[in-house]
Structures are given as structure tokens and as C-alpha cells.
Amino acid sequence: MRPTRFDELSSSYEDLLRDPIRDRFAGQESTFFHRRKSELIRRFFRRRNIDTSGLRHLDVGCGKGELLSMLRADFKHSAGCDVSVDMMREITGVETRVQIDPLQIPFEDGSFDLVTAVCVYHHVPVADRPSLTQEIQRVLKPGGIFCMIEHNPRNPVTRLIVSRTPVDADAILLEAAEARGLAAGAGLLPVEHSYFLYFPQTLYRYVGWMEGMLTKLPFGGQYALFSQRPLA
């Protein structure tokens, strides 16, 4: 198997993500961005009174597995897949499978209640995005949820950071409208979308509750789109 771009980046991945604005935003908490995403996903299920302890979670493009490890205790089974063997090399305690073909998810039809793809799509060529979304639809159980989290191109600070981050040299950001179109094109039903990452960690500790009032404004640093595979 030929090494992927992320295989080459993986040994210095954290250093290559470093950026003065990004680092200040995360403050003292190195896992701030992953924590915010795991909380967002947890709240999605809590708001609907859905107990996730019997559910199966797959993280597509799981990278180093931070989100998987943060959410592992919430789910009965957690799994990750990625086109990069090296990115996943140090993940432990979670099932991982290598995605040999970027457009084929190495899991069976209808096998997951939740599929996440976090900051993956902007690395996927635009023409391939519908096929990847169709694959995500395939591995979801009927009624299962797809959560896509992406950088928000409408946020100028996000755009600036992406433009100077080596990891994102191949990035083509997608607007939430494109993300919604991809989900709809794969036959997924819209459930919810929200913009988040308005406040840096130092402020979020005190006024984080205010983000709840800003989720519909398209200016947060990232957005999360939830959609659902129809029941029948």
C-alpha cells in the first residue's frame, strides 16, 4: 500500500498543526478542540433523551483517535478507520481498520448507529465527496446518525489559520450548504446543524453558555451537521 499524505505528516502532525492563533484559542488545554466536539455530540444525544450506551460509533478519518477515546465510554462499541496507517498507529483499545480505498469504508452495511467524520471532508477531492457520503450512508443502520464537523470558511480566522497550516496545504473548505447537499444527495435526512467555536478556551470556561445562542449564526470557527439515514 502506498503511503498517503497523512502517513508522511503523522510523525510531526501535532507540530505541523501549531499556529499562534490556534494555540491561543486552545489556551492551556491541548485537547480543547476535541473536547468541544465530543461535548457537542454528547449533547446532541442528550437533548433527544437517547441513551448511547448500547450504540455503535464509527469515526471515519479518525486520525490519531482523540475523538474516539473521548467518546469511547459513551458507546457500546467504538471503531475508527482512516486511509493513513501511520495516523492510527498508536490508537489502542478501539477497533481500527485501514481504509485501503479512500472511497470504500471497510465495514459492513448497516453496522453503526453513529458515524462521525471530523475535519476529513476538506481533504477529500470535491468530486469524491458524494461517493464518500454514500459509503457513510451504507454503513449506517436505518435511523443512524451521521455527524460531519468541518472548518467554517465563512470565519476569516479559520481561513487564515488553514491557509498557513502545512497539514491543510491540500484543503478545499466546504460551506455548510455544501455539506447539507452532500448528506441530502446520499439520501440522508437533515436533523440539525450548528456553528461553534466562538470563544477561546479562557473565555469559554466562563461564558461558554453564550455559544448556545450563537449556533445558528454562520460565523463560528467550525460547524457540525447532523443528518439521519431514513428508517425505511
Ligand X SMILES: C[S@@+](CC[C@H](N)C(=O)[O-])C[C@H]1O[C@@H](n2cnc3c(N)ncnc32)[C@H](O)[C@@H]1O
**Chain positions contacting ligand X, by CB under 6 A:** 4, 6, 60-63, 66-67, 82-84, 87, 99, 102, 118-120, 123-124, 132, 167
CB of 122 to ligand X, least distance (A): 8
Residue number with CB closer to ligand X (39 or 232): 39
Contact status, residue 122 vs residue 116, Cβ threshold 8 Å: no
| Nearest CB to ligand X, comparing residues 41 and 67 | 67
CA angle 18, 23, 29 (to 5 degrees): 115
The C-alpha angle 18, 21, 26, rounded to 5 degrees, equals 75
Nearest approach, Cβ of 78 to ligand X (angstroms)?
A: 13
**Given the complex with ligand X, which of 18 and 48 has the nearer CB atom?**
18
Nearer to ligand X, 79 or 118 (CB): 118
Angle at the Cα of 230 (from 99 to 40), degrees rounded to 5?
Answer: 65
Minimal distance, residue 41 CB to ligand X, in Å? 12
Shortest distance, position 61 Cβ to ligand X, whole Å: 3
Measured from the CB atom, is 84 or 137 closer to ligand X? Answer: 84
CB 138 within 8 A of CB 58: no
Sheet strands (E) in the chain: 56-60, 77-82, 95-98, 112-118, 140-151, 189-196, 222-228
Q: Name the minimum Å distance from CB 138 to ligand X.
A: 14
For residues 41 and 61, the answer to whether their CB atoms sit within 8 Å is: no
Minimum distance from CB of 10 to ligand X (Å)?
8
55 versus 167: smaller Cβ distance to ligand X: 167
Q: Where does residue 125 rank: exposed (0-12), middle (13-18), buried (19+ CB within 10 A)?
A: exposed
